[in-house]
Chain A
Amino acid sequence: RKEVEQDPGPFNVPEGATVAFNCTYSNSASQSFFWYRQDCRKEPKLLMSVYSSGNEDGRFTAQLNRASQYISLLIRDSKLSDSATYLCVLNTDKLIFGTGTRLQVFP
Protein backbone atom coordinates (compact mmCIF):
# COMPACT_ATOMS: atom_id res chain seq x y z
CA ARG A 1 0.00 0.00 0.00
CA LYS A 2 1.31 3.45 -0.88
CA GLU A 3 2.06 5.78 2.01
CA VAL A 4 -0.07 8.50 0.44
CA GLU A 5 -2.94 7.86 -1.93
CA GLN A 6 -4.87 10.37 -3.97
CA ASP A 7 -7.52 10.15 -6.65
CA PRO A 8 -5.62 11.26 -9.77
CA GLY A 9 -8.72 12.86 -11.31
CA PRO A 10 -9.06 14.87 -13.38
CA PHE A 11 -11.79 16.81 -11.68
CA ASN A 12 -13.45 19.00 -14.31
CA VAL A 13 -15.56 21.73 -12.69
CA PRO A 14 -17.11 24.99 -13.88
CA GLU A 15 -16.02 28.34 -12.55
CA GLY A 16 -17.66 29.13 -9.24
CA ALA A 17 -18.07 25.49 -8.22
CA THR A 18 -16.95 23.99 -4.95
CA VAL A 19 -14.64 21.00 -5.22
CA ALA A 20 -13.08 18.76 -2.60
CA PHE A 21 -10.15 16.37 -2.72
CA ASN A 22 -9.33 13.67 -0.22
CA CYS A 23 -6.04 12.02 0.49
CA THR A 24 -5.45 8.95 2.64
CA TYR A 25 -2.24 8.04 4.37
CA SER A 26 -0.97 4.86 5.98
CA ASN A 27 1.65 6.07 8.44
CA SER A 28 -0.12 6.90 11.68
CA ALA A 29 3.09 8.44 13.03
CA SER A 30 2.95 11.25 10.50
CA GLN A 31 3.43 14.51 12.30
CA SER A 32 2.30 17.12 9.87
CA PHE A 33 0.62 17.47 6.54
CA PHE A 34 0.61 19.86 3.63
CA TRP A 35 -1.03 20.59 0.33
CA TYR A 36 1.27 21.64 -2.49
CA ARG A 37 0.16 22.93 -5.86
CA GLN A 38 1.92 22.07 -9.10
CA ASP A 39 1.11 23.84 -12.35
CA CYS A 40 1.76 22.07 -15.62
CA ARG A 41 5.51 21.71 -16.25
CA LYS A 42 6.30 23.81 -13.19
CA GLU A 43 7.74 23.04 -9.80
CA PRO A 44 5.52 22.34 -6.76
CA LYS A 45 4.75 25.19 -4.39
CA LEU A 46 3.33 25.10 -0.90
CA LEU A 47 -0.39 25.88 -0.87
CA MET A 48 -1.13 25.41 2.81
CA SER A 49 -0.28 23.45 5.89
CA VAL A 50 -2.91 21.22 7.47
CA TYR A 51 -3.54 21.49 11.18
CA SER A 52 -5.46 19.15 13.44
CA SER A 53 -8.06 21.81 14.05
CA GLY A 54 -8.43 22.48 10.35
CA ASN A 55 -7.44 25.71 8.71
CA GLU A 56 -8.79 28.11 6.17
CA ASP A 57 -7.06 30.48 3.80
CA GLY A 58 -9.48 32.47 1.72
CA ARG A 59 -11.32 30.08 -0.58
CA PHE A 60 -9.25 27.12 0.57
CA THR A 61 -9.99 24.93 3.58
CA ALA A 62 -7.85 22.02 4.73
CA GLN A 63 -8.89 19.44 7.29
CA LEU A 64 -7.24 16.50 8.98
CA ASN A 65 -8.96 13.39 10.28
CA ARG A 66 -6.40 11.40 12.22
CA ALA A 67 -8.81 8.66 13.24
CA SER A 68 -9.58 7.82 9.62
CA GLN A 69 -6.16 8.86 8.38
CA TYR A 70 -7.21 11.24 5.69
CA ILE A 71 -6.81 14.89 4.87
CA SER A 72 -8.99 16.98 2.65
CA LEU A 73 -8.80 20.16 0.63
CA LEU A 74 -11.91 22.16 -0.19
CA ILE A 75 -11.87 24.89 -2.81
CA ARG A 76 -14.83 27.25 -2.94
CA ASP A 77 -15.79 29.54 -5.81
CA SER A 78 -13.32 27.90 -8.19
CA LYS A 79 -11.35 30.15 -10.52
CA LEU A 80 -9.78 29.30 -13.86
CA SER A 81 -6.42 29.94 -12.23
CA ASP A 82 -7.05 27.12 -9.76
CA SER A 83 -6.44 24.62 -12.56
CA ALA A 84 -3.41 22.64 -11.43
CA THR A 85 -2.38 19.40 -9.76
CA TYR A 86 -2.79 19.33 -5.99
CA LEU A 87 -0.27 17.23 -4.11
CA CYS A 88 -1.00 15.78 -0.71
CA VAL A 89 2.15 15.66 1.41
CA LEU A 90 2.84 14.05 4.74
CA ASN A 91 5.80 14.48 6.99
CA THR A 92 7.44 11.55 8.74
CA ASP A 93 11.16 12.20 8.96
CA LYS A 94 10.97 13.59 5.45
CA LEU A 95 8.20 14.72 3.17
CA ILE A 96 6.28 12.05 1.28
CA PHE A 97 4.40 13.34 -1.75
CA GLY A 98 1.25 11.86 -3.21
CA THR A 99 0.92 11.56 -6.97
CA GLY A 100 -1.54 14.44 -7.05
CA THR A 101 -5.09 15.20 -8.07
CA ARG A 102 -5.57 17.16 -11.24
CA LEU A 103 -8.15 19.94 -11.26
CA GLN A 104 -9.40 21.59 -14.43
CA VAL A 105 -11.72 24.57 -14.03
CA PHE A 106 -13.62 25.54 -17.18
CA PRO A 107 -15.46 28.77 -18.03
Chain B
Amino acid sequence: GAGVSQSPSNKVTEKGKDVELRCDPISGHTALYWYRQSLGQGLEFLIYFQGNSAPDKSGLPSDRFSAERTGGSVSTLTIQRTQQEDSAVYLCASSFGTGGDEQYFGPGTRLTVT
Protein backbone atom coordinates (compact mmCIF):
# COMPACT_ATOMS: atom_id res chain seq x y z
CA GLY B 1 0.00 0.00 0.00
CA ALA B 2 0.98 3.65 -0.21
CA GLY B 3 3.38 4.94 2.39
CA VAL B 4 3.73 8.38 3.90
CA SER B 5 4.26 11.02 1.26
CA GLN B 6 5.64 14.50 1.63
CA SER B 7 5.82 17.47 -0.68
CA PRO B 8 7.79 19.20 -1.92
CA SER B 9 10.83 16.96 -1.75
CA ASN B 10 13.10 19.99 -1.91
CA LYS B 11 12.41 23.63 -1.16
CA VAL B 12 14.77 26.56 -1.51
CA THR B 13 13.49 29.83 -0.12
CA GLU B 14 14.82 33.25 0.72
CA LYS B 15 15.23 34.34 4.29
CA GLY B 16 12.08 36.01 5.55
CA LYS B 17 9.68 34.11 3.29
CA ASP B 18 6.97 31.76 4.55
CA VAL B 19 6.95 28.09 3.55
CA GLU B 20 4.39 25.30 3.78
CA LEU B 21 5.34 21.65 3.91
CA ARG B 22 2.77 18.94 3.32
CA CYS B 23 2.42 15.42 4.69
CA ASP B 24 0.01 12.70 3.61
CA PRO B 25 0.00 9.93 6.22
CA ILE B 26 -0.82 6.31 5.67
CA SER B 27 -4.56 5.86 5.40
CA GLY B 28 -6.06 4.81 8.71
CA HIS B 29 -3.17 6.02 10.84
CA THR B 30 -4.48 8.19 13.63
CA ALA B 31 -1.16 9.62 14.82
CA LEU B 32 0.99 12.00 12.80
CA TYR B 33 4.37 13.42 13.80
CA TRP B 34 6.68 16.11 12.48
CA TYR B 35 10.43 16.01 13.11
CA ARG B 36 13.38 18.08 11.97
CA GLN B 37 16.82 16.70 11.21
CA SER B 38 19.74 19.01 10.65
CA LEU B 39 22.85 17.79 8.84
CA GLY B 40 24.56 15.11 10.89
CA GLN B 41 22.14 15.51 13.77
CA GLY B 42 19.44 13.38 15.32
CA LEU B 43 15.72 13.76 14.91
CA GLU B 44 14.24 16.72 16.73
CA PHE B 45 10.59 16.24 17.66
CA LEU B 46 8.39 19.18 16.64
CA ILE B 47 4.72 18.32 17.03
CA TYR B 48 2.32 15.41 17.00
CA PHE B 49 -1.37 14.91 16.36
CA GLN B 50 -3.46 12.07 17.71
CA GLY B 51 -6.99 11.75 16.46
CA ASN B 52 -9.14 14.66 17.57
CA SER B 53 -7.04 15.47 20.62
CA ALA B 54 -5.23 18.76 20.98
CA PRO B 55 -1.79 18.44 19.36
CA ASP B 56 1.37 18.18 21.41
CA LYS B 57 3.28 21.28 20.31
CA SER B 58 6.00 21.00 22.90
CA GLY B 59 8.79 20.60 20.34
CA LEU B 60 8.08 23.64 18.19
CA PRO B 61 11.21 25.83 18.40
CA SER B 62 9.46 29.19 18.07
CA ASP B 63 6.12 30.80 17.33
CA ARG B 64 7.16 31.05 13.68
CA PHE B 65 6.35 27.34 13.45
CA SER B 66 2.80 26.02 13.30
CA ALA B 67 1.06 22.95 12.01
CA GLU B 68 -2.44 21.80 11.35
CA ARG B 69 -4.06 18.56 10.43
CA THR B 70 -7.26 18.75 8.48
CA GLY B 71 -9.89 16.06 8.73
CA GLY B 72 -7.57 13.82 10.66
CA SER B 73 -5.50 13.15 7.58
CA VAL B 74 -3.27 15.57 5.68
CA SER B 75 -1.01 17.84 7.71
CA THR B 76 0.71 21.09 6.83
CA LEU B 77 3.73 22.48 8.66
CA THR B 78 4.13 26.22 8.18
CA ILE B 79 7.26 28.20 8.90
CA GLN B 80 6.87 31.95 8.84
CA ARG B 81 9.64 34.43 8.22
CA THR B 82 12.17 31.67 7.60
CA GLN B 83 15.69 31.97 8.99
CA GLN B 84 18.87 30.28 7.80
CA GLU B 85 18.90 28.09 10.92
CA ASP B 86 15.58 26.61 9.74
CA SER B 87 17.47 24.80 6.98
CA ALA B 88 17.04 21.08 7.62
CA VAL B 89 15.18 17.99 6.48
CA TYR B 90 11.63 17.99 7.78
CA LEU B 91 10.33 14.47 8.29
CA CYS B 92 6.75 13.42 8.80
CA ALA B 93 5.76 10.09 10.30
CA SER B 94 2.48 8.37 11.01
CA SER B 95 1.47 5.44 13.16
CA PHE B 96 -1.65 3.43 13.78
CA GLY B 97 -1.76 4.61 17.38
CA THR B 98 0.61 6.35 19.74
CA GLY B 99 3.19 5.19 22.21
CA GLY B 100 4.90 2.06 21.13
CA ASP B 101 3.41 1.73 17.67
CA GLU B 102 5.88 1.70 14.80
CA GLN B 103 6.23 5.05 13.11
CA TYR B 104 6.43 5.05 9.34
CA PHE B 105 8.39 7.95 7.93
CA GLY B 106 7.97 9.87 4.74
CA PRO B 107 10.97 10.72 2.56
CA GLY B 108 11.21 14.21 4.01
CA THR B 109 11.34 17.74 2.65
CA ARG B 110 14.81 19.25 2.39
CA LEU B 111 14.46 22.95 3.19
CA THR B 112 17.23 25.37 2.34
CA VAL B 113 16.92 28.98 3.43
CA THR B 114 19.30 31.32 1.58
**Chain A residues within 8 Å of B, Cβ to Cβ:** 31-32, 34, 42-46, 49, 87, 91, 93-100
Contact = CB atoms under 8 A, between A and B. Distances in A.
B103 A46 contact: yes
Nearest to B42: A99
A34 B99 CA distance: 12
B45 interface: yes
Interface string B4-33: 000000000000000000000000000001
A66 B91 CA distance: 30
B41 interface: yes
A94 B100 contact: no
A42 B39 CA distance: 12
B65 interface: no
Interface of B: 33, 35, 41-43, 45, 48, 56, 91, 98-100, 102-103, 105-108
A49 B108 CA distance: 23
A52 B41 CA distance: 28
B99 A87 contact: no
Contacts of B45: 94-97
Contacts of A31: 99-100
A94 B91 contact: no
A40 to B, nearest CB: 11
Contacts of A98: 42
Nearest to A96: B45
22 contacts: A31-B99, A34-B102, A42-B107, A43-B91, A43-B105, A43-B107, A44-B43, A44-B91, A44-B105, A87-B43, A91-B99, A93-B56, A93-B99, A94-B33, A94-B48, A94-B98, A95-B33, A96-B45, A97-B35, A97-B45, A98-B42, A99-B42
B108 A94 contact: no
Given A31-B99, A32-B100, A43 B108 contact: yes
Contacts of B106: 43
Contacts of B33: 94-95
Chain B CB within 10 Å — which of A32, A44, A91, A95 has the most?
A95
A45 B105 contact: yes
